[in-house]
Amino acid sequence: MKAESPHITIEEFDAICAAEGGMVEHYGFVTDHIGYGEARVRMPIDHAHIRAGGTVSGPAMMALGDFAVYALVMGMIGPSPLAVTTSLNVNFLRRPAPVDILAEATILKLGKRLAVGSVNIHSLGDDDPVAHLTATYSIPPPEQRG
Amino acid sequence: MKAESPHITIEEFDAICAAEGGMVEHYGFVTDHIGYGEARVRMPIDHAHIRAGGTVSGPAMMALGDFAVYALVMGMIGPSPLAVTTSLNVNFLRRPAPVDILAEATILKLGKRLAVGSVNIHSLGDDDPVAHLTATYSIPPPEQRG
Amino acid sequence: MKAESPHITIEEFDAICAAEGGMVEHYGFVTDHIGYGEARVRMPIDHAHIRAGGTVSGPAMMALGDFAVYALVMGMIGPSPLAVTTSLNVNFLRRPAPVDILAEATILKLGKRLAVGSVNIHSLGDDDPVAHLTATYSIPPPEQRG
Amino acid sequence: MKAESPHITIEEFDAICAAEGGMVEHYGFVTDHIGYGEARVRMPIDHAHIRAGGTVSGPAMMALGDFAVYALVMGMIGPSPLAVTTSLNVNFLRRPAPVDILAEATILKLGKRLAVGSVNIHSLGDDDPVAHLTATYSIPPPEQRG
């Protein structure tokens, strides 16, 4: 990966997400880091919506991973609220402990039309992944990104 | 598929989901039908949580599809709240219209350890799928199901 | 699916595959049917390459399913040897019997950039699927198709 | 990952594969390394079967990745020819150069019933992945492994 600066700041990304409503408000996602080719997003465990039997639900982890790739893509191409997921694959590996969950996304491919990211989700303080997912985003043409 | 009766009623399934909290309360899912080898679950569009820019979010569709396979599996093996998703793959096909969304799940395989379901998600009144997903559930041994 | 005629004949498709070498020669695939939005490809069990312990290997089924979607896509957009798979997901469901294997592909989405197909693979004379897969193809722009 | 010794040697693994026929003979796979929780398998580009238009075909990469996870699993549980793939997901990222292809597999989860591996496939001398895949294997009970 080239040592390039990210093309969006966390503040800009948060502003886009706030304007859209949805994921951040719904799940309480916190974007900790956006680099060029990597992003890290956290799901605070004390957010009311994510607890189900004391653990994090599968759909909440899928939403987190999908969101981390959204941040990842914008870190590479700049603000692009119209980027949309075209496919996603997830393997659930372990039952997460009732602590904050972190999604670490890294880029696998940035093409002209598609971006593919890989995400490891793990519990705070434990590097063993609880889920692994890949997500493909369709990238809008440059004139539709702004 | 054998013409067998479903091994759970909608009332029993709803009671299990209510006890767990989570998906139903979170997204407002309504289970319309559980047969032996098929299930249909609806996401009412007027539920506050699912709207983001006037459409249904990808994570909400993943949650719906996952939930439909949960209903499908219980229709075949009976009440088993401990059945858990091991993997899920989704393709997003079209942007759904702002109407109710239906997930129609059919069984691909029911084994001793794993069940695999296929789901077409479409908008009410339009058979063209907006998303297609497959989900694999790990089935608890019979003595842990009840 | 609209009742439209396929945009390629089996003869044209076979000629493209023969020019490419690869799959057909390697696995002995036979294209039985190409319609608009559907295709059926067969893997004759007596082809030397596919037997491993008397059954069809997983990779051979993946190759067959991928190939069926290639035929499916050309049935909708016409000859396009440059169409390439961007992602594929497969669930293996049952061990196939040592008879011919059929892949029945149907279109889930035909967009400007991407086509997504769903494939059920089953043994000749038995409708229960031995594998289910989805594959996404990247479609070349019209000027690069011919 | 614990610093444990692998539970199979390359010689033992090669002997199992030779007895099965199939993949190794078919594609010419060479197993370079099996550790505990990691494996590396190579596809020599000069093997007659893998060339199609001067590049490596998608199905050949899927077969390679699947095979790398087979080696990975046996490195953790010992000789188990009956371990079978239950699902596989692949993203094709770049067109590989006409050189040897390496699949580097790492374990994501080793459970009692299922093992999940992640594979990056890249060209010799170039770390950028040409494909990323995950594969899940069903693990036979200990008494059926030997």
- Per-residue pLDDT tens digits for C1-13: 457 999 999 999 9
**Mean of pLDDT values over A71-100:** 94
The question of ipTM being above 0.85 is answered as: yes
| Residue C53, pLDDT above cutoff 80 | no
Q: Which residues contact C56 (CB under 8 A, 6 or more apart)?
A: C43, C45, C50, C96, C98, C101, C130
Q: How far apart are CA C43 and CA C56, in angstroms?
A: 9
Q: Is D108 on the interface with A (CB under 8 A)?
A: yes
Reported as type and span, the H/E element at residue A58 is: helix A58-77
Residue ranges per structural domain of chain D: 10-144
Q: Which of C52, C63, C86 sits opposite D92 (nearest CB)?
A: C86
B31 close contact with C: CB closer than 8 A = no
Structure tokens at B140: 């608890």
Q: What is the pLDDT of residue B47?
A: 64
Query: Which of B93, B94, B134 lies at the smallest CB-CB distance from C132?
Result: B134
Of A92-101, C41-50, D119-128, which range is least confident?
C41-50
User: Would you call D114 and B89 a contact, using CB atoms and an 8 Å cutoff?
Assistant: no
Please answer yes or no on whether A134 and D108 come within 8 Å at the CB atom: no
Give the Cα separation of C56 and D86 in Å (integer): 14
CATH of C10-144, one of 3.40.50.720, 3.40.50.2300, 1.20.120.1200, 3.10.129.10: 3.10.129.10
Query: Who among A21, A63, A86 is closest to B91 (CB)?
Result: A86
Residue type, B7: H
Predicted local distance difference test score (pLDDT) of residue C25: 74
Q: What mean pLDDT comes out for the span A55-81? A: 93
Nearest residue to B72 via CA among B59, B61, B60, B85 = B85
What's the pLDDT at A32? 97
Amino acid at B64: L
Residue B79's pLDDT is 93
Instruction: Output the pLDDT for position D47.
Output: 64
Report residue A64 as tokens: 């987190």
- Which one, of A106, A75, A105, lies nearest residue A8 by Cα? A75
Cα Rg, chain B, nearest whole Å: 14
Out of A24-28, B92-96, D9-13, least confident range? A24-28
Q: pLDDT band at residue D140, thresholds of 50, 70 and 90?
A: confident
pTM for this prediction:
0.94
Cα separation, D9 vs C75, in Å, equals 48
Distance from CA of D108 to the nearest CA of B (A): 13
The residue written with tokens 């026929």 in the block is D21
Strand extents, DSSP E, B10-100: 30-35, 38-43, 51-52, 55-56, 84-92
Chain A residues close to C113, C-beta within 8 Å: 113, 138
Contact state of A87 with C136 under an 8 Å Cβ cutoff: yes
Q: How far is B43 from chain C (nearest CA, A)?
A: 21
Quote the pLDDT of residue C125. 94
Q: Give C-chain residues touching D88 at CB under 8 angstroms.
A: 58, 62, 88-90
What pLDDT does C22 receive?
66
Q: Any CB–CB contact under 8 A between B87 and chain A?
A: yes
**Which has the minimum average pLDDT: A51-65, B76-90, D11-25?**
A51-65
User: What's the alpha-carbon Rg for chain D, to the nearest Å?
Assistant: 14
The whole-number pLDDT of residue A48 equals 53
- Closest to A145 measured CA to CA, from A108, A116, A115: A115
Residues of C in contact with A138 (CB under 8 A): 113-114
- The closest of D83, D85, D86 to D146, measured between CA atoms, is D83
Smallest CA-to-CA distance from C115 within B22, A87, A57, D107 is with A87
Strands (E), chain A: 30-35, 38-43, 51-52, 55-56, 84-92, 101-110, 114-123, 129-138
Q: Picking from A30-34, B54-58, D85-89, which range would have the lowest pLDDT averaged per residue?
A: B54-58
Report pLDDT for D51. 47
Q: Running along chain B, 146 residues long, what does each successive block of 10 average in pLDDT? A: 84 91 79 98 75 72 96 96 94 91 97 96 95 96 75
Q: How far apart are CA C121 and CA C132, in angstroms?
A: 6
pLDDT value of position B71 = 97
Residues C66-102: tens digit of each pLDDT: 999 999 999 999 998 889 999 999 999 999 988 899 9
Nearest-angstrom CA–CA distance, D2 and C127 = 45
D38: amino acid identity, one letter: E
What is the overall mean pLDDT for chain A? Answer: 89
D116 and A108 in contact by Cβ < 8 A?
no
Which residue carries 């002209």 as its tokens? A112
Of A86, A89, A113, the CB nearest to C89: A89
pLDDT at A51 over 50: no
- Unique residue bearing structure tokens 């400007």: C112
Minimal-distance CA residue of chain C relative to B2: C128
Of B89, B91, B109, which has the smallest distance from its Cβ to C93's Cβ? B109
- Please state, in angstroms and rounded to a whole number, the distance separating the CA atoms of residues B136 and D113: 13
pLDDT of residue C107: 98
Q: In whole angstroms, what is the distance from residue C39 CA to residue C37 CA?
A: 7
Query: Does residue A2 surpass a pLDDT of 80?
Result: no
Shortest CB distance from B66 goes to which of A23, A53, A59?
A59
Say if residue D48's pLDDT is above 60.
Answer: no
Q: D88-101: per-residue pLDDT in tens?
A: 999 999 999 888 99
Chain D contacts of C114, Cβ < 8 Å?
none
Query: Residue D142: which residues within 8 A CB-CB, separation 6 or more?
Result: none
Which pLDDT score is estimated for B51? 47
Identify the pLDDT of residue B18.
87
Mean of the per-residue pLDDT values for chain C? 90
Whether D52 sits inside 8 A of C92 (CB atoms) is no
The residue with greater pLDDT, B97 or C36, is C36
Distances (CA, A) of C117 to B59, C74, C112: 21, 12, 14
Query: Do residue D134 and residue A94 have CB atoms under 8 angstroms apart?
Result: no
Neighbouring CB atoms inside 10 A of B93's CB total: 23
pLDDT at site A146: 60
Asked if the model's pLDDT at residue D14 lies above 90, the reply is yes
pLDDT at C57 over 90: no
Contact residues for B73 (Cβ-Cβ < 8 A; gap 6+): B80, B83, B110, B115, B117, B137, B139
Preferred mutation among C89, C137, C138 to probe B, highest tally of B CBs within 10 A? C89
**Best D69, D82, D85, D87 residue to mutate vs chain B (most B CBs within 10 Å):** D87
